Chain A
Amino acid sequence: MNEAILIAGMAAVTFAVRYPVLALLGKIELPPLVLRALRFVPPAVLTAIIVPAVLIPDGDHLNVGLANPYLAASIIAALVSWRSKSLLLTILVGMAAFFAWKFLFPA
């Protein structure tokens, strides 16, 4: 793996979504459809990452049992987030639940 190419590529595409829009907005307006679509990007991308990571923790096998620490802890984290809206509290409780589950249901 050529790490320099990987990092240069990642840096380039990341800069390309941050800077040009910032610079151009003084001069041009983004089409309303693009702005509307962008609003859905964060929940869509993040959920597309979360769901397989939680339900297929080993990368191959679906695991919907309650002994699955990824599933149980992410449900608890979602409830904490919903009630508290606090990112920090969600992370702390979620991680604690995750390790508690791993301790209670060793694989």
Chain B
Amino acid sequence: MPEYPSRRAEFWRGVRDTVPLEVGGIPFGIIFGAVAVSAGLSPAATLAMSAFVFAGSSQFIAAGLVGQHVAIPFIIITTFVVNLRHALYSATLGPHMRYLSQRWLIVLGFWLTDESFALVIARYNAPDDSPHKHWYMLGSEVSMYIMWFTCTLIGVIAGQAIPDASGWGLEFAMVVTFTGLVVPMLKDRPMVVAAVVAGITALLANGLENKLGLMLGALLGVAVGLVVESFSKPQPVAIIPDEEVAA
């Protein structure tokens, strides 16, 4: 019977491994808090969004849409589209987490983010067969959640103290963060085409009501990406390498 790291050791390892990734999230969270308040969300609603939605990019966009007086149903639909990528993460992690109870899955699912996903899939793919890897995930997620809420709070306070911060162009932090996320994804031609089609469509459709151009661009980008992929020769076997493929 091999020795495995304890639950507590896995948890703290998850916390520790998450810290470097939080360095990028800290300014993002603070700026979100400040931008949301200056866009017209109340401080309570801004904090509630970080507590209950807990999805930074969609929160940023929602704050922007609130500032442009977009109707609530459209903000909710946009949130759905922006966060749809989490279904990819869940689909990748799901097979590793079959053994967990629904209670665990609800908690770990609610807290799933880009950052924790990147760490946790690497932990699940590590060669050891520790039965406590979900504790690593919990540690990473709790750490992200505390960081995000705290930074939102700091941002809300700063945003109220400096009322004209909205004119500084701080929302560029979102653009630059997304740029840093997108560029490494553009590894093959279908991906590049999907991004280019999405970007051009969103630009041309920018005049549409309720920011529908974003959704239109995303849908067309995905559709054209699929078509281009179907016509290019090697089909990617795995979306993200997992242990079945590696083994």
A: which residues have CB within 8 A of B?
1-11, 13-26, 30, 33, 35-57, 59, 69-70, 73-74, 77-78, 80-82, 85-88, 90-91, 94-95, 98, 102
Contact = CB atoms under 8 A, between A and B. Distances in A.
Interface in B28-81: 28, 40-42, 44-45, 48-49, 52-55, 57-59, 61-62, 66, 68, 72-73, 75-77, 79-81
Contacts of A24: 94
B27 A41 contact: no
A4 B49 CA distance: 10
A4 B191 CA distance: 37
A11 B53 contact: yes
B57, B105, B186 — which one has the most chain A CB atoms within 10 A of its CB?
B105
A35 B199 CA distance: 22
A30 B194 contact: no
Interface stretch (B7-15, B125-133, B153-161, B174-182): B174-182
B152 interface: no
Nearest to A87: B180
Given A40-B191, A69-B169, A48 B198 contact: yes
A56 B194 contact: no
Given A13-B80, A22-B112, A49-B202, A39 B179 contact: no
Given A39-B239, A45-B84, A91-B177, A98 B172 contact: yes
A13 B178 contact: no
B246 interface: no
- Chain A residues touching B, majority SS: helix
Given A2-B72, A41-B85, A44-B222, A49 B214 contact: yes
Given A41-B84, A43-B194, 15 more contacts: A7-B48, A8-B52, A17-B84, A18-B86, A22-B90, A25-B91, A38-B87, A38-B239, A39-B239, A45-B198, A48-B217, A77-B175, A91-B176, A94-B180, A95-B176
Contacts of A26: 94-95, 97-98
Contact of B110 (A19, A50, A70, A78): A19
Contacts of B214: 45, 48-49, 52
Interface residues of B, number: 96
A33 B61 CA distance: 28
B176 A73 contact: yes
Nearest to A39: B239
Interface of B: 23-24, 27-28, 40-42, 44-45, 48-49, 52-55, 57-59, 61-62, 66, 68, 72-73, 75-77, 79-91, 93-95, 97-98, 102, 105-106, 108-110, 112, 169, 171-186, 190-191, 194-203, 206, 213-215, 217-222, 225-226, 229, 236, 239
Contacts of A88: 23-24
A48 B221 contact: yes
A1 B218 contact: no
Nearest to A90: B180
Contacts of A54: 175
Nearest to B176: A94
A31 B171 CA distance: 37
B54 A52 contact: no
A14 B206 contact: no
Contacts of B197: 44
Nearest to A40: B225
